[in-house]
Every structure is written in C-alpha cells, then in structure tokens.
Structure 1
C-alpha cells in the first residue's frame, strides 16, 4: 500500500463525518451563505452582484456535493480528478 492509500484510509472517517454534518446542517450553511452575500452586496452597493451571485452558487453547489445531495458528476465539471497513474516518461 502506498503513502497516498494510507492517507486516504486514515482520512475516510473524517470525510464521512464532514459529509454527515453537511447533510444535517446544509440549510443553515445555505442561509449563512445567502446572508453573507447580501451583506457584501450591500457594502459594495451592487457593483459586484453578478460575481457575488456566481460565488454563492458555487459555494452552495460545493456544499451539496459534500453532503452527497447530488449524484457524482452533477456539478458541471468543477472538480479536478487526478490521473490514476503518472504520465509515461518521454
């Protein structure tokens, strides 16, 4: 077993715990994201509304993925999946 496999095995329980917490408190997190976005939008007087809206949508999407509310691959390709093996040497 390689170093990364050992690390993944040790972090699996933490990942499950974070997923459970995100699932249980997702509505509170979404509310907090909306509240923060509203405050920032008011402070910037609407100058960055589009960017704030985009950021909140991405944050909510990430929360949903963590909470496993969406199926795999439903995020639109925002995540990076590293290759399983290194590229061949030239």
Structure 2
C-alpha cells in the first residue's frame, strides 16, 4: 500500500517523512489539495531506480542490435580487445 501524505507534512513533519524514506525503499506520495503532486524518496532509492532504468535501456539496446544483426560473436570481440591491448 503506498504511503500518502499531505503537502503540509513536508513542512511540519519533514523528519518523520525523511526517516520513513530512509527506512523503506519506496516513495512517499505527497498530495496538494487532495490530488497527487510529488513523490519523495531517499537518494539511495532514487539512485537504485535510475540505475535499473539505465540497465534496462542498455539491455534493450543490446537486444535491438542483436535482432538487427549488428553484433559480433563475443569470442571475436574479446580477441580484438586482446590484440589492441598487446600493441
């Protein structure tokens, strides 16, 4: 169940929200006039989420390259890298 708090709590209960965000790896949803307005989370959670997104983007890029036959076999790539390192 998501944690939902009114915007006044950012001002009046910041410490409580901060503690929650550091204790649980999930956002706290902040409402303004009863409507969703912000999502607040710890830096650690934010970095984890953006890291996952970056990984998924790289995996998707690799799958698209594979499907378009724009990839080389791994053993050939490794052999090329070894050659360049010996120079």
Query: Is the pair's TM-score, using the shorter chain for normalization, greater than 0.5?
Result: no
Higher strand fraction (1 or 2): 2
Higher relative contact order (CA 8 A, sep 6+): 1
TM-score normalized with structure 2 length: 0.32
Using the size of structure 1 for normalisation, the TM-score is 0.31
| Structure with greater helix percent | 1
Bigger Cα Rg: 2
